[in-house]
Chain A
Amino acid sequence: MSVNSQIQNQNQSAISPVKQKQAPNPVVRWIRLLLKSKTGTFGFIVVVAVVLIAIFAKYLAPYDPNMINPAAMLKPPSWMEGGSSAHILGTDNLGRDILSRIIYGSQVSLAVGLSAVAFAGAIGVFVGLVAGYYGGFVDNLLMRLVDSFLAIPTILFALVFLSVFGPSVTTLIVVLGITNWVQYARLVRGEVLSIKEREFVKAAKSIGVRDNKIILKHLLPNVISPFIVISTLSVATTIILEASLSFLGLGIQPPTISWGGILSDGRDYVATSWWLATFPGVAITITVLAIIFLGDWLRDVLDPRSTK
């Protein structure tokens, strides 16, 4: 053994100059990884920008988003005929500035979209991991629960829930979370079923690793990739779902503003004043796209096989 370790030491010293290159500090490393991906960079910049806009809405918005101005009703965007530089993205049917409304709307839309997905994801991933890993009775029980949730029409359930508990940002997050967790549970369970048959899980069991550690250290990191993809996609559907609920009058209540709310306000005027519904729609699209890009990049860097 001593001979062997000597050889090892020699080996080590022989190549150590190459290896000596100190690992850069984590921030630099992450920025480097980020800059490697164009879409990831785009996503990151846009998401950071939207978050900053939401935080500093008070200082960024040119007008009070709820200020009604009868003198400036349905003004088109500034570059169109009849538009003015006072309202860059035009005004709505009550003369409220669209840009200011979109800036303020980002707060609720982001909060609801992200927290609802996080909430749904947490429940779904937990249920999926437990059901998939333990199998048998636990699996059957949880999956029948999932089936029954799938059988409930989302909008109907949301309507009942919101009318019972009253519409607010919190109840909206809860209701969107409750209606969406099942897709994560099914996805994660499926992944776990295949991963737990791999030999490294068997190896962990034979070492005597406790079940909770196996789930956390061996299964969770290996199901996180598909989860990130699905969850970033569903931030989009969640924002839209919030919009539909707002449209039905049970979502975000005025004077609180959300993108979905502005969108549904503008629906009646789509034929005559297209900007009312278009700009919040564009805001949703860009944000969702950026989140998806960011998610894609995140999935790639979290997978050690693709960091090279």
Chain B
Amino acid sequence: MVQTIETKDTQQSNKEQEYLLEVKGLKKYFELSEGLFKKEKQYLRAVDNIDFYVKQGETLGIVGESGCGKSTTGNLIMQLLDKTEGEIIFEGVDLSTLKGENLRKKRAEIQMIFQDPFSSLNPRMRVFDIIAEPLKTHRVAKGKELENQVYELMDVVGLDRSYARRYPHEFSGGQRQRIGIARAIALKPKLIICDEPVSALDVSIQSQILNLMSKLQKEFKLTFIFIAHGLPAVKHISDRVAVMYLGKIVEITTKEKLFDQPLHPYTEGLLAAVPIPDPTLRDEKHRIIIEGDMPSPANPPSGCRFHTRCPYAQEKCRSEEPKLIEEKPDHFVACHFPLEDGHGVLIEK
């Protein structure tokens, strides 16, 4: 069995060295139990066959509306949820095949920053213990050494050392998020999944936290998967962006390409939704507005999942599901009629 794959492996080895994480055909269906006597099982297709990769040291933004499956994707990679199908290959190892102690050890290499800083910290633990927990769990340090490491981490994320004995409720949202970040980087992980880390914060604090994260990324050579529900949040920090809609990736490319010339109508709509402060820069003529709500992932539309809300939808879109293909170099899109002249927004480079 091993030998048969070997040839394939050597072919891919170059690519794999580059890719820290590769997700292949990942699916997560939640079973909906409706009634005791209902025979046919219904599934909520939270994540439906997605593929992407993350390169060492880059930041991949995942963007989409609520319920598009972006957080589920994060939880699947973290192994907090069991996948239905697919592979999650981290440094050549399929994480979803790991069990028990092996998985527990591997967890040190992938960490998560959570959305809600008010529920992501145990209200009954002091800041010191919260930050020390990963170090203790993986027996990285103890005693005086542990103390030093925790204080160092507090310095790094910009928390005053005198806060160590305090409880989380004594802090503001931004400070709490710093505690969460200190906990996430404590084990010097290779990959950090940021699940909307700034969406619960004030706008003024958001930029502070984002700047801190970019600083840490450079300092510790971190790789981020940055999940957000709007494009502005990922604009600064991402190198590449994946746009998700109803459990599928509809477009994935570099930030510049995505913002300059989106190929998918949904991306164009998302970009049009970004408020532009200067009225003279607004492009009202080409502004498309996506109307209606996202259909239920339990009963997704046939063909292209976006056709119900797409201003350019045609007959083919209703019957045939588009595949994610490389329309332009390094620019993947899942659309039968990719935009020729998609209108993005100005992006400062």
**Which residues in A have some Cβ–Cβ distance to B below 8 Å?**
1, 4-5, 8, 11-12, 15-16, 19, 198-200, 202-210, 213, 217-218, 221-222, 303-305
Contact = CB atoms under 8 A, between A and B. Distances in A.
18 contacts: A1-B155, A5-B155, A8-B160, A8-B161, A12-B160, A200-B120, A202-B120, A203-B121, A203-B180, A204-B133, A206-B112, A207-B108, A207-B183, A208-B105, A217-B125, A221-B124, A221-B125, A305-B169
A16 B105 contact: no
Interface residues of B, number: 38
A217 B115 CA distance: 22
B196 to A, nearest CB: 11
Interface string B129-148: 00001100110000000000
A181 to B, nearest CB: 24
Given A5-B155, A199-B120, A222-B122, A208 B114 contact: no
A279 to B, nearest CB: 42
A304 B162 contact: no
B109 to A, nearest CB: 10
Nearest to B157: A4
A184 B154 CA distance: 39
Contacts of B108: 207-208
Contacts of B134: 207-208
Nearest to A219: B122
A13 to B, nearest CB: 10
A199 B119 contact: yes
Contacts of A205: 80
B257 interface: no
Nearest to A200: B122
Q: Select the residue from A1, A16, A208, A213 with max chain B CB neighbours within 10 A.
A: A208
Contacts of A11: 160
Contacts of A1: 155-156, 219
Contact of B116 (A8, A12, A15, A199): A199
A202 to B, nearest CB: 6
Nearest to A15: B162
Contact of B107 (A5, A198, A208, A218): A208
A213 B219 CA distance: 32
Nearest to B134: A207
A16 B160 CA distance: 10
A203 B122 CA distance: 9
B158 interface: yes
B338 interface: no
Contacts of B161: 8, 12
A305 B125 CA distance: 11
A65 B137 CA distance: 57
A202 B162 contact: no
Q: Select the residue from B115, B124, B125, B161 with max chain A CB neighbours within 10 A.
A: B124
B111 interface: yes
Contact of A207 (B121, B137, B167): B137
A15 B160 contact: yes
B111 A207 contact: yes
A222 B124 contact: yes
A205 B78 CA distance: 9
A305 B168 CA distance: 9
Contacts of A15: 160, 162
B199 to A, nearest CB: 13
A253 to B, nearest CB: 44
Contact of A208 (B137, B160, B167, B180): B137
A8 B178 CA distance: 14
A200 B119 contact: yes
Given A1-B156, A199-B115, 5 more contacts: A1-B219, A19-B162, A207-B111, A208-B104, A217-B122
A10 B1 CA distance: 61
Contacts of A206: 78, 80, 107, 110-112
